[in-house]
A = this chain, B = another copy of it.
Amino acid sequence: MTPTSPRHFHFNGSLTGPWRVTRQVALRGDPLPAAPCLVVGTADQRPGVWHLQGITSNERYVTRAERTELVARQEGLGRVASTRAALIPIRKTAAWWALTQDERRDVLEGQSRHIAIGLRYLPAIARRLHHCRDLGPDEPFDFLTWFEYGPDDEPAFDDLLAALRASPEWTYVDREVDLRLAR
């Protein structure tokens, strides 16, 4: 990322917008208020039906070897064929945040294969991770992950999520919403 890349992104549940919300499932904790559309961008367009924000940041767990593989396989957001998307806001427990770096890495990759699982679905599933926890002390989620893919890849995307949700890492998730979108 160059220093001038935008880092702070806003997600607005709204009455109109380029992405149509096709489904919302609250897997743990409260759902978001129902909104028919979603606007994603670098402008804060509050008020809408709801507003979430996150900032892209340095990677917290990926090693050099893993990044080399990720970069070789991944494709960017905004592909013409990516007419489906998902926004998955997640909050982790206080117990997760009290782990040390080596313990979090062990749960995330050693036990849960989070990075390896994601790699299997590249380049079909493109993603961008936004951090919320250090934007301020009152954010409702810790992470917002945005995914883009083609309609034929939705079953693969569901497989990816099922693998992650069955992993030891997910015992540290105490709020998760799964929003599916189409444009």
**Residue total for A at the interface (Cβ-Cβ under 8 A):** 33
Contact present for B62 and A101 (CB under 8 Å): yes
Known: A58-B97, A59-B101, A97-B58. A137 touches B7 (CB 8 A): yes
- When C-beta atoms are compared, the residue in chain B nearest to A105 turns out to be B101
Cross-chain contact of A133 among B1, B6, B57, B97 (Cβ < 8 A): B57
Interface centre among A58, A63, A97, A98 (most CB of B within 10 A): A58
- Could you tell me the dominant secondary structure of chain A's interface residues? loop
Cross-chain contact of A134 among B2, B61, B66, B134 (Cβ < 8 A): B134
Cross-chain contact of A100 among B55, B63, B103, B137 (Cβ < 8 A): B63
A183 on the B face (CB < 8 A) = no
Contact present for B136 and A102 (CB under 8 Å): no
Contact present for B55 and A8 (CB under 8 Å): no
- When C-beta atoms are compared, the residue in chain B nearest to A138 turns out to be B8
A135 on the B face (CB < 8 A) = yes
CB of A127 to closest CB in B, whole Å: 18
A-B pairs with beta carbons under 8 Å apart, 18 shown: A2-B94, A3-B94, A6-B137, A7-B137, A55-B136, A55-B137, A57-B133, A58-B99, A59-B101, A60-B60, A60-B101, A61-B101, A62-B100, A62-B101, A63-B101, A66-B100, A101-B101, A131-B134
A-B complex: 9 closest residue pairs judged by Cβ atoms:
A134-B134, A63-B102, A7-B137, A64-B100, A58-B97, A8-B137, A57-B134, A55-B134, A67-B100
